[in-house]
Amino acid sequence: MTALIEPINQALLEVTVSEGLVDEDRTTLGGISGVQMIEIKPESPTVKFSFLDFVTYAVTAEMYATDSASETYEGGWVSVVTQSHLLAFVGNANWATSDFPGPLHHYQIRTSDHRIDVVTAIPPQVDG
């Protein structure tokens, strides 16, 4: 899976995730024969997440992303993180509170290349 991340304006963040499809053609790569490439194609299944009035977001290269035993996740490649270092940081680093804009939620989207973390008071709209 791969993602296209677009801050549309200061109030809307769109994350479009597309599934890579296995190419039918086989090739030799690095001395290994029979390799099939995984590519994003026009027919790839796609899901778009629209985060309205997000507080913050972070994109981390997958090779640098780590899991912490002190964080609590619920979900798979899309998760709600109920206890996280990012939520703690947001609570200490800006004036967003449960009073305004409302109770904050941490959503995490994991792709093959990136980990996208979004903190917002409004659940995302999901299309696709």
List, for residues 13-32, the tens digit of each pLDDT value. 999 999 989 988 999 999 99
How large is the average pLDDT for residues 1-19?
82
- Mean pLDDT (the chain, rounded): 89
pTM (predicted TM-score): 0.83
Question: Can you list the alpha helix ranges (DSSP code H) found in the chain?
Answer: 85-93
Classify residue 91 as left (phi > 0), alpha (psi -120 to 50) or beta. alpha
Long-range (24+ apart) CB contacts under 8 A made by 1-5 are 1/77, 1/111, 1/112, 2/40, 2/111, 2/112, 2/113, 2/114, 3/109, 3/111, 3/113, 3/114, 3/116, 5/57, 5/59, 5/114, 5/116
Domain ranges of the chain: 2-123
Instruction: Tell me the two tokens of residue 83.
Output: 């206890």
Question: Cα-flanking dihedrals φ and ψ of residue 127, to 5°?
Answer: -120, 135
Instruction: Tell me the two tokens of residue 121.
Output: 């008071």
Instruction: Tell me the two tokens of residue 91.
Output: 């609570």
Residue 116 has pLDDT above 90, yes or no: yes
Instruction: Tell me the two tokens of residue 75.
Output: 């979900």
- % pLDDT > 90, the chain: 55
Render pLDDT for 49-82 as a digit per residue (tens, 0 to 9).
999 999 999 999 988 988 888 888 888 889 999 9
